[in-house]
């Protein structure tokens, strides 16, 4: 096992990079709007965006206005209807989408589903001038403790898409499950369900947990921990390090669809490691209303 000094030094560098990424100009805290379209929605207007928006054959289409301000799509102003491709994710940066701006604001689209399994299409707006600062959010963490770096073993399974409930009532998000990670704590065995985030460099295994600190000490909707594969074939994970637990983006903004932690990942002990609850609370209000922007 590496020395404490090595582990703590690596964690400090990672912690700095994580906070910087969360609070960068177009990071999660810059979100200022989240709009929804349902299948067949046509010629819908949104308060903060120009033109009209539609869903055609499962594609999110933007129709520019006849005159006035326009979107910039991959460096050009469109003159005809154009698809705004989902996939530009500010945390992981993958997908076929291209940069879309409206003035200083960045625009992205996302795919979700409702409780009936029907597709939902989201449009998000990020304003770098409204991005929160770490000191304003009151982001802190426990000191690094190597006792929370716990060995265990990974059991891969066939990748399956699971439609998880989210903090946005009526909206589900697909979370690809890739296997389980089993570890021991104080003589008891625990098995966590792992999801596999698609990233620019491949699959990133993630555990979404709740524990007895969730709410009073850490973020109430739970925290996520990125784990690391120990081999090139992605068949081994040797450790879970709870010092790397961080709050979900919904701790900092209302305009997200963070999944709810699966029941299997509710731990019956306090995880006194990782990121603490932000000092500033976000007032949770819903952005989706069923049937509001669907086919007429």
Digit-coded pLDDT (tens) for 235-259: 999 999 999 999 999 999 999 999 9
Domain shared by 120 and 141, yes or no: no
- Same domain? For 256 and 159 the reply is yes
Range of the domain at 84: 28-130
Whether 20 maps to a domain, the answer reads no
Q: Band the pLDDT of 88: cuts 50, 70, 90.
A: low
pLDDT at 84 over 90: yes
Task: Tell me whether residue 145 is in a domain.
Answer: yes
Same domain, 93 and 190: no
Same domain, 46 and 117: yes
In a domain, 293, yes or no: no
pLDDT at 225 (0 to 100): 98
Mean pLDDT, the chain, rounded, equals 92
The answer to whether residue 75 scores a pLDDT higher than 80 is: yes
* Residue 143 and residue 259 in one domain: yes
Q: Are residues 246 and 164 in the same domain?
A: yes
In the chain, the number of structural domains is: 2
Range of lowest pLDDT (26-30, 94-98, 126-130, 215-219): 94-98
What's the sign of the alpha-carbon dihedral 128, 129, 130, 131?
Answer: positive
Rounded Cα gap, residues 172 and 164, in angstroms: 5
CA–CA gap between residue 198 and residue 293 (Å, rounded): 29
The pLDDT value given to residue 91: 42
Question: Do 165 and 256 share a structural domain?
Answer: yes
Tokens 């996939």 belong to 87
Is 141 found in the same domain as 121?
no
25 to each of 156, 202, 263, how far by Cα in Å? 37, 25, 34
């Amino acid at each position: 096992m590496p020395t404490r000094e090595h582990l703590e030094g690596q964690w400090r560098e990672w912690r700095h990079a994580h906070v910087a990424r969360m609070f960068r100009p177009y990071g999660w805290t810059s979100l200022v709007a989240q709009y929804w379209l349902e299948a067949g929605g046509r010629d819908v207007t949104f308060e903060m965006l120009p033109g009209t928006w539609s869903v055609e054959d499962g594609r999110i289409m933007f129709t520019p206005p006849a005159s006035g301000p326009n979107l910039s799509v991959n460096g050009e102003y469109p003159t005809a209807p154009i698809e705004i491709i989902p996939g530009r994710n500010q945390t992981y940066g993958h997908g076929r989408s291209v940069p879309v701006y409206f003035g200083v604001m960045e625009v992205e689209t996302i795919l979700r589903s409702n409780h009936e399994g029907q597709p939902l299409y989201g449009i998000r707006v990020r304003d770098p001038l409204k991005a929160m600062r770490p000191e304003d959010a009151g982001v802190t963490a426990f000191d690094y403790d190597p006792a929370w770096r716990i060995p265990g073993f990974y059991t891969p399974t066939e990748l399956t898409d699971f439609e998880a409930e989210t903090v946005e009532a009526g909206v589900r998000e697909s979370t690809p499950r890739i296997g389980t990670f089993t570890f021991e704590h104080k003589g008891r065995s625990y098995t966590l369900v792992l999801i596999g985030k698609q990233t620019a460099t491949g699959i990133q295994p993630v555990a979404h947990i709740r524990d007895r600190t969730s709410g009073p000490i850490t973020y109430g909707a739970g925290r996520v921990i990125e784990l690391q594969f120990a081999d090139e074939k992605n068949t081994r994970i040797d450790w879970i390090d709870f010092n790397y637990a961080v709050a979900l983006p919904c701790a900092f903004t209302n305009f997200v669809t963070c999944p709810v932690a699966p029941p299997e990942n509710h731990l019956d002990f306090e995880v006194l490691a990782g990121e603490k609850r932000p000092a500033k609370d976000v007032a949770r209000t819903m952005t989706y209303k069923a049937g509001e922007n669907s086919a007429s």
